[in-house]
Amino acid sequence: MGWTGTLRAIQAAQSRAEREDRRRLRELQKQAEHQEKLNAQEQARLEVATYENRLALLLSIHQEEVQEWRWEAIRDTPPPTPPDRVPARENAARRHLASLGPAPEPPMRQTSREAAALTALAAFPPLPAPPSPGDRHEAYALAKLQSLPSLPEPERKGIHEAEIAARLAQEPPLPEPPTRRRTRELPARERWEAKRPNLLGRLFGKKSEELLRLEAELEQAMQADETEHQQEMARYDELRRRHTELEALLAEAKQADEARFQAEWQEYQQHLAAKAELEQEVVTGRQSDEAEFQQAWAEHQQLVARGKELEQVVVSAREADETDYRRAVAEWQQRMAERAAAEARIEAGRQEDERNYQAVWQPFVAAEQAWRENHALAEAVLAGERDAYAHVLRELSPFQEISSLGSRLDFHLHPPKLIEVGVKVNGKQAIPSRITSLTASGKVSVKAMPKARFHEIYQDHVCGCVLRIGREVLALLPVDTVLVTATADVADSRTGQTTEQPILSVAMPRAVMQTLNFTDSCRGAPLDPSDAMDNFLHRGDFRASRRSGAFVPIVPLKPEDLTAAGPGQPGSAATAAPFNPFAAQWAEALRRNEIEFGFLRLTANELAGLLARPAQDNFTLPESKALAREVERYGYCLEPDPRHGAGNFWGNREVGLFQPPSGAVQAPAEHFQGAAALLQLCLLVAAADGSVDRGELDQFRQFIESQFQFTPDEHQRLIVLETLLARNAASAKVTLGRTAKRVPQDKHIVIAQFLVDVAAVDGVISPKEHKAMARIFEALGLSEDTLETLIRNLPATGREVVIQSAEPTRPGEPIPAPGGRDVAAPFKLDMARVAAISAETHEVIGLLAKAMAEDEATEPVPRLFGQPETATTPVKEVAPVPPVANPAPQPNAMVHVEAIIAATAPMGAAFDSLDVKYRAVAVRLVVRDTWARPEFEAVAREHHLMPLSVFDAINEWADQQLGDFLLEGEATIIIHRNLLP
């Protein structure tokens, strides 16, 4: 290599070193950035955990364990017993010295084991000489092998075969079989043919002599040719016979030669087998000789080992004798030391007994003094003395946690049965105004807390403080009732100033408080502090919305209110005497002649206004069900009823109120829910072309009623539902979504077949009906090909079903039926076809009833604060009084929205600005309030999207368009549906 090559190599090495340095620098920078990112994520998690712990402290204040003071047990506790002077340790030391016995004698050295081992070694015989290897068996086998004669390997000779083959070769070859030759016949036939007369001559003429002669010659020629052929065949057969005999002899010769060879070969194989057997005997003999030698050598080694073992036994015995002697000396020394220590412990025990007596005597004096004070306090508390109550509350101070949250406590004693507590809650200052959470990238997301959520936490915190105060007071003092009044800074609209006003007043009897479960138990849902207020007599109301919400100032309860209400009576004191808000509206509707078919028609907002509820564009499903229960409290039935599959209310949705013909509000039977759902689905198809009239609806409703026995109340419910659906069939769409989600997939085809039959009862399926059917099939998970197949397979009932063509430019005319039949009128029910499908009706109604009633068993009872909750069981008697209190808590309801109309619903339209590929999955997700993580991931994969991408994309869009994240949570994904229009 020249100097130029060396220079290039040096430059290349420098370049590699520089690149390596830059790579290491980049790696160090990446590691530093990663470490900074990890530190930021840890800080973010700490910040979120602090926020969550703060919320948990606010919402679980009522769950803290309280220490119950049993003053009867304190009063009945006997006084402490004075201690006795007992020299326990001195006596124990003396007993221990006595248990050691007299002082032992020094041990003597023993050699018994060594002498026995030497005796055994002397009795062992001397060792024999080591054995040598032998070849007795191998030599015998070799002699037998050498005496075996040798035998050559046989060969194939074929002597007989060669002899017969030579004879066969001398024979002439076998020719081909002779053929029949016509050398004489052909010339004679030609001469005869030449003289042969024509057809007429043969029929009417007579043979000439020449023709007869030629025929005779032809006959002779044929005989001569045949004789010659027979002779040739005889010669050929003789030659073939000789060849066959020689070939048979040749085969026999081959077999004889082969038999001789096989006999010689078998003899040769036997010889080889005998030789191999002898060779194996040689090997076996060699192995036997080796085994005998190894056995003899092993026996010799055992004798050697035994001798060494005896020698080792002698050494071990000598060592054991020495060890025993040393152990005996050590034990003697230890026993002597124990006796000396025991003698010293006697004096130490005497001193310790004195110190212990003095240590017990001083606590006894203090305990006796404390017992006297506690005994006197317990007697005073049980006697209901005011000073004793005040002393207990002042000294024990059980409200430190509530005070740390900024609350002020005031007590008013009414011994011995009642105590009033005033608490100033500062929850609005204690509750964080922002929500802190972690994004998918590990960053802290801080956003303004929705007002509805803030006021919900505020409400639960206030109620939790009240419950905690009641629990602590009842645990401290033997009172029967605690009257807690919570005050807060409330804006006074009359003065424009913020003043301290009472917002909640609760009377908590001990008997009711003992029935509440304040722990998170696997037996049921944890206690909700706001719901728990309905167990007590209380005053207070709370109205929360996304825009505003606050406690309403109240007149607090007084001790005399408890006496008037009766002991332990739960409910809201503000609603103790409800009035009927519908009587005036019903009378006004009668005056205007607006009572149609026996029911009062209202919009949902009008209904909410009569019940003192705010108007809304959309009511949630729990709010809609709460309105229905409020209506029942006043002795009215409501249709459509959101508790039976009708979906939630919107502001201008029409509802019907009527008084039950039976006189008592009763929940409809399960088959009624199926019949109502069937009526809604049928109208969803029939109203697609906007040509539904009331007369046809009456026929269809009467047909449905003929399938089951309905009560008068259920009959009236169907009439109300039918009338409202005829005015606006859009509300029936929610039934489609419930059907698609609740009915098993294999039963969707049954409902689809029934709806196709319904669409065809008037003999014409219009384009709008066909489009509606296609959307229904899509919601049910069925293809459009299935729809076309069901239409083609419709049974004939006297008229052919015609599918009209859509012409958007002009109205057009119905296509006449084939064969000159009349034109089908819009939605003219063919009751013959309807009767023909009645066999399907029971099955379809059963499926729909199960779908509508599937989640009623776990239907939540939504709480409007300050109003009592109604029971979920049917009401047997109508009475305008609060229902049974303390209902069992129910899980949150799932709001079902049909997937098939999501693109046209207001909620679906809200996603117009979202990326196209995420719209479908967003519409799918908002049909529920919560999704488990596996369910959320399954929905994302159904749309061929990554779950994390769906989560981040929707939240990024929601943050820009709605001002907040739409999705939240890890194990459970929470959908903030209140952000959507």
CA angle, 652 then 658 then 659, to 5° = 155
Among 885, 880, 850, CA closest to 869: 885
Q: What's the whole-model pTM score? A: 0.35
Q: In terms of C-beta distances under 8 Å and separation of at least 24 residues, what long-range contacts does 35-43 make, across chains too?
A: 37/442, 40/442, 40/443, 41/442
- Alpha-carbon distance 831 to 697, whole Å? 12
| Tokens (6 digits) for 712 | 């008068």
Q: Is residue 966 part of a domain?
A: yes
Torsion sign (Cα): 369, 374, 380, 383: negative
Around 299, how many Cα atoms within 13 Å sit in the side-chain half-sphere? Answer: 10
CA distance 210 to 216: 10
Output the six-digit token pair for 898. 């049909």
Task: Give the residue-averaged pLDDT of 847-851.
Answer: 66
552, 575, 598 - which closes a domain: 575
pLDDT band at 798 (very low <50, low <70, confident <90, very high): very low
Q: Could you give the percent of the chain with pLDDT greater than 90?
A: 3
- Does the structure show a pLDDT above 80 at 62? no
Q: Do 147 and 215 fall into the same domain? A: yes
Q: Which of 340-354, 485-499, 809-823 has the highest mean pLDDT?
A: 340-354
pLDDT band per the 50, 70, 90 thresholds, residue 545: very low
| Confidence class for position 824, pLDDT limits 50, 70, 90 | very low
Quick one: 44 and 176 in the same domain? no
pLDDT score, position 860: 43
- Strands, E assignment, 38-114: none
- Inform me whether the pLDDT recorded for 837 exceeds 70: no
Residue 75 lies in a domain: no
Whether residue 363 has pLDDT greater than 70: yes
Given pLDDT bands bounded at 50, 70 and 90, which one contains residue 86?
Answer: confident
Question: Is the same domain home to 492 and 417?
Answer: yes
Residues whose CB falls within 8 Å of the CB of residue 403, separated by 6 or more in sequence, listed in order: 409
What percentage of residues in the chain have a pLDDT greater than 70? Answer: 75
Q: Is residue 833 part of a domain?
A: no
End-to-end CA distance of the chain: 82
Distance CA 672, CA 715 (A): 9
Residues 312 and 370 in one domain: yes
Which residues on neighbouring strands pair with residue 551, listed in sequence order? 542
pLDDT tens-digit map of 608-638: 998 888 998 888 888 889 999 988 888 889 9
Looking at per-residue pLDDT, the higher value among 435 and 548 belongs to: 435
CA distances from 639 to 636, 659, 753 (A): 10, 11, 28
Q: Which residue has the tokens 């709010």?
A: 623
Confidence (pLDDT) at 825: 42
Chain mean pLDDT for the chain:
75
More confident residue, 690 or 89: 89
Same domain for 414 and 537: yes
- pLDDT digits over 678-729, tens only? 777 777 666 665 656 555 566 666 667 666 678 888 888 888 888 887 777 6
pLDDT digit string (tens) for 927-949? 889 999 999 988 888 887 888 78
CATH of the domain at 963: 1.10.10
Residue-wise pLDDT tens digits, 445-470: 888 888 778 888 888 888 888 888 88
In a domain, residue 140? The reply is yes
Tell me what pLDDT residue 307 has. Answer: 82
Q: Which of the pair, 811 or 481, is modelled with greater confidence?
A: 481
> Are residues 960 and 866 located together in one domain of the fold?
no
Claim to verify: residue 408 and residue 281 sit in the same structural domain? no
Q: How is residue 234 written in tokens?
A: 């005889």
Name the residue among 597, 825, 828 with its Cα closest to residue 697: 828
Is 817 part of a structural domain of the chain? no
For residue 898, pLDDT beyond 70: no
Amino acid at 927: V
Show the DSSP H helices in 175-208 as ranges.
185-194, 199-204
In the structure, what pLDDT confidence band is assigned to residue 656 with cuts at 50, 70 and 90?
very high
**Same domain? 479 vs 623:** no
pLDDT value at 434 more than 50: yes
Report for 131-145, 179-193, 554-568, 919-933: range of highest mean pLDDT? 919-933
Residue 808 has pLDDT above 60, yes or no: no
The CA angle 88-92-98, to the nearest 5 degrees, is 150
Residue 747 has pLDDT above 60, yes or no: yes
Residue 48 has pLDDT above 60, yes or no: yes
Give the pLDDT mean for 276-288. Answer: 86
Identify whether 661 is part of a domain.
Answer: yes
Regarding predicted confidence, which is higher, 286 or 896?
Answer: 286
Tokens of 278: 């002898």
Alpha-helical (H) ranges within 528-653 are 529-532, 559-565, 583-591, 604-610, 621-633
Least confidently predicted of 121-130, 278-287, 688-697 = 688-697
Question: Worst-scoring range by mean pLDDT, 200-214, 573-587, 811-825?
Answer: 811-825
- Say which residue the tokens 């003289």 belong to: 195
Among 575, 595, 625, identify where a domain stops.
Answer: 575
pLDDT band at 891 (very low <50, low <70, confident <90, very high): very low
Q: What is the mean pLDDT of residues 824-846?
A: 54
Do 611 and 584 contact (CB within 8 A), yes or no? no
Asked if residue 336 and residue 201 are part of one domain, the reply reads yes
pLDDT of res. 903: 36
Instruction: Answer yes or no: do 563 and 514 share one domain.
Output: yes
pLDDT at 586: 79
**Together in a domain, 616 and 508:** no
Which residue range forms the structural domain that includes residue 486?
A: 398-575
- Torsion sign, CA atoms 138, 144, 146, 151: negative
pLDDT at 815: 40
Tell me the C-alpha distance between 863 and 533, whole Å: 11
Whether the pLDDT of residue 588 is over 90: the answer is no
Q: What is d(CA 636, CA 656) in angstroms, rounded to the nearest whole number? A: 10
Question: What is the model's pLDDT at position 483?
Answer: 92
Does some domain include residue 373? yes
Both 205 and 308 in a single domain? Answer: yes
The least confident of 114-118, 292-296, 445-449, 892-896 is: 892-896
Q: In the predicted model, is pLDDT for residue 975 greater than 90?
A: yes
Q: Six-digit token pair at 678?
A: 């069937």
Provide the number of structural domains found in the chain: 5
Degrees, nearest 5: CA angle 106-108-114: 155
For 314, the token pair is: 């002698």
Instruction: Tell me which residue has tokens 């009331």.
Output: 694
In the block, residue with structure tokens 């604060």: 865
**Which one has a higher pLDDT value, 972 or 114?**
972
Residue 872 has pLDDT above 50, yes or no: no
pLDDT at 892: 33
Tell whether 101 is covered by a domain: no
Decide: 49 and 396 in contact? Cβ < 8 Å. Answer: no
